[in-house]
Chain A
Amino acid sequence: MTDDQPHPDDERRLWAQCAAAKPAARSACPPAIELAAWIDGRAAGPERDMVEAHLAQCAECREAVGGIRLAREGVAGSLAGAPERVKEAARMLVGASLEPRERRLHLAGWQTIGRWGMAAAASVAICVAGYRAGGSWPAAAGADEVVLVEMSFGLLGELSETGLVLAFEGDFR
Chain B
Amino acid sequence: MTMEIDLDACIRGDKQAWDVFVERWAGVIHAAVQRTFHGGRGAAARAEIEDTVQDVFLRLIKEEYRLLRSYDAGRASLSTWLTLVARSTAIDRLRRKRAPTIPLEPDDAPAASGGERAVDTPQIPLHLLSGRQRLVLSLLFDEKRSVAEAAVFIGGDQQTIRSTKHKALSRLRKHLSTAANGGDAHPAGPVEPDGERQP
Please tell me if B197 contacts chain A, counting CB pairs below 8 Å. Answer: no
Report whether B76 and A39 are in contact in the complex, using a CB–CB cutoff of 8 Å.
yes
Instruction: Report yes or no: A11 in contact with B169, Cβ–Cβ below 8 A.
Output: yes
B27–A80 contact, CB under 8 A? Answer: yes
Residue from B19, B122, B142, B155 within 8 A of A91 (CB atoms): B19
On chain A, the number of residues with a Cβ less than 8 Å from chain B's Cβ atoms is: 69
Between A and B, 18 residue pairs with Cβ closer than 8 Å are: A13-B118, A15-B138, A17-B121, A18-B123, A19-B117, A21-B123, A22-B113, A33-B70, A35-B84, A37-B76, A39-B80, A52-B135, A55-B138, A82-B27, A91-B19, A93-B18, A95-B14, A96-B15
Chain A residue with Cβ nearest B106? A25
Complex CA distance for A167 and B102, rounded to whole angstroms: 60
B110 at interface, CB cutoff 8 A = yes
**Could you tell me the distance between the alpha carbons of A128 and B135 in the complex, rounded to whole angstroms?**
81
A-to-B contact residues, CB < 8 Å: 6, 11-26, 31-37, 39-42, 45-46, 48-57, 59-60, 62, 64-69, 71, 73, 76-77, 79-83, 85-87, 89-91, 93-96, 98
Is B126 at the interface (CB under 8 A from chain A)?
yes
Known: A17-B122, A17-B123, A23-B126. 12 other contacts (CB 8 A): A18-B137, A26-B110, A40-B77, A48-B131, A48-B132, A54-B131, A56-B134, A71-B32, A79-B31, A83-B50, A90-B53, A95-B13
Q: Would you call B26 an interface residue if the criterion is a C-beta within 8 Å of the partner chain's C-beta atoms? A: yes
A13 touches B84 (CB 8 A): no
Q: Which residues of B contact A50 (CB under 8 A)?
A: 131
Cα-based distance from A62 to B108 in the complex (angstroms): 16
Assess the B138–A93 pair: CB atoms within 8 A. Answer: no
Query: Residues of B contacting A13 with CB < 8 Å?
Result: 116, 118
Q: Report the interface size class on chain B.
A: 35 or more
B112 at the interface (CB under 8 A from A): yes
Q: Is the CB of B110 within 8 A of A87?
A: no
> Hey, which chain B residues are within 8 Å of A80, CB to CB?
27, 31
Q: B28 interface residue, CB < 8 Å from A?
A: yes
Q: Is B3's beta carbon under 8 Å from chain A?
A: no
Majority-rule SS of A interface residues? helix
Give the docked Cα–Cα distance between A64 and B88 (Å): 9
Indicate if the CB atoms of B31 and A46 lie closer than 8 Å: no
How far does the Cβ of B117 sit from chain A's closest Cβ, in whole Å? 6
Q: Please pick, from B31, B36, B76, the residue contacting A33 in the complex, using a CB distance under 8 A.
A: B76
**Contacting residues, chain B, for A51 (C-beta < 8 A):** 131
Question: Could you tell me if B30 and A36 are in contact, using CB atoms closer than 8 angstroms?
Answer: no
User: Could you say which of B36, B129, B142 contacts A67, with CB atoms under 8 Å apart?
Assistant: B36
Instruction: Kindly list chain A residues whose C-beta atoms are within 8 Å of the C-beta of B50.
Output: 83, 85-86, 89
Distance A68 CA – B139 CA, assembled complex (angstroms):
16
Q: Shortest beta-carbon distance, A101 to chain B, in Å?
A: 13
Contacting pair B129 A16 (CB below 8 A):
no
| Interface presence of B85 (CB below 8 A) | yes
- Looking at the complex, which one of A15, A32, A69 makes contact with B152 (CB distance below 8 Å)? A69
Given contacts A17-B124, A20-B123, A90-B57, contact A45 B193 (CB under 8 A): yes
B18–A21 contact, CB under 8 A?
Answer: no
CB of B113 to closest CB in A, whole Å:
5
